[in-house]
Structure 1
């Protein structure tokens, strides 16, 4: 632990830590996730501004560290305190201007900002990948309607019908468009709709049935499986 802290101090002293890509990505990820827990719509751009502000804060601390070490090292050998104070103030101003224009600004534009933009792009790509994976893991809209059909029939509720009212109900349950649900209900209840299915759509319907079967088999819902098979027989086979 002590060795790690010394390494971190060394990296900060040489100004490597603030522009280390791993540190930038980690800081962006942690900061962004913390803010997202507080504000659901917190954008990456806002976190970007926070990290830029943090960079300039780090330059101040880095500068103060250098001044502090210099003062502590030279003070025991100083003679006149007034002259030493004047020299320290003058040197501090000159040193800050030198560091600001030759180190901090150059590192900011050439290293920190490109790495920050890369970190943001990487973070957003990973978020998109996770979202796509979640979408792939979700049941299709058709499979959801098939399952509701099964539960409606096996419970003898017999509420479901190819109507706008039912489409609106399933829209509220599943959060998908009523129009899309209405199309799926038409497909289930209207023979002429099933007869017009193209080969590509027949394959898609078959996959939706497979999705629904997996859920019912996991539930060990035998009556539901029988009900779904009875419905599947009314569809053209791929």
Structure 2
């Protein structure tokens, strides 16, 4: 227990918690999410400034304040009056603050805290950009019913058998289209049971037919209209 207390005290004095990159990351994410919820236009640059302000106005002041409080507790029994105590705090505290700032707070900020903050900021910005790109891809990518119907048409054109509705086929189509395996498998199975589809499933497949029609038209392959018309007729029966 004593060893643990000494370790905690040493950690506080050396400010390991403040300078630990995982703690900086957690603080950055928490502050960014909090302010983003309040201001939709909030950005990472603003969060970076908040975290820097937290370093100086919370971490540094708390650290120095605790040290001064401990010093006052040791000095208190030796002071005969509050004026003496105040004078001691003033004349000892100001030089101590300057010394701590010059030799501890500034060096640790520029050589440790700030570089780690830059790493965290860049890391979070990169993750946000990747998420945004993924969202854009999902918006522009055809849904599974359309992809399956495109596969169906290509099978008809090339006179090759339609893939069976199983996990292996879904994995293969996933490599080709990048869509969800389960949805690909589900929509592939619909082609084998057109007559028993629900109204919702028929609507999704019919929308897929229209999207596929536009796709083949854009690629200059309008000759597949007959295949799509036949499929549409089966779906409407």
Give the TM-score taking structure 2 as reference length: 0.58
- 2:28·2:48 contact (CA, 8 Å) conserved in 1? yes
- 2:25·2:120 contact (CA, 8 Å) conserved in 1? yes
Range with greater deviation from structure 2 (212-221 or 61-70):
212-221
Alpha-carbon shift at residue 144 of structure 1 (Å): 4.8
1:108 aligns with 2:75: no
Report the counterpart of residue 88 of structure 1 in structure 2.
89
Q: CA RMSD in A?
A: 4.5
Aligned length: 179
Deviation by residue 1:77-119 (Cα, 9 ceiling, x = unmatched): 3345533431221001111111111211121111111111111
- 1:216·1:222 contact (CA, 8 Å) conserved in 2? no
C-alpha spacing 1:83/1:139, structure 2 compared with 1 (3 Å): closer
Q: Write the distance in 2 (CA, Å) between the matches of 1:133 and 1:25.
A: 23
Report the counterpart of residue 59 of structure 1 in structure 2.
60
- 1:13·1:65 contact (CA, 8 Å) conserved in 2? no
C-alpha spacing 1:99/1:38, structure 2 compared with 1 (3 Å): same
Report the counterpart of residue 216 of structure 1 in structure 2.
187
Segments of structure 1 that go 5 or more residues without pairing to the other structure are: 151-187, 189-206
Within 5 Å, which residues of 2 pair with 1:68-83? 68-79=69-80, 81-83=82-84
Q: Write the distance in 2 (CA, Å) between the matches of 1:6 and 1:126.
A: 39
Within 5 Å, which residues of 2 pair with 1:125-140? 125-134=126-135, 138=138, 140=140
SS in 2 for 1:234: helix
Range with greater deviation from structure 2 (85-94 or 62-71):
85-94
- 2:32·2:47 contact (CA, 8 Å) conserved in 1? yes
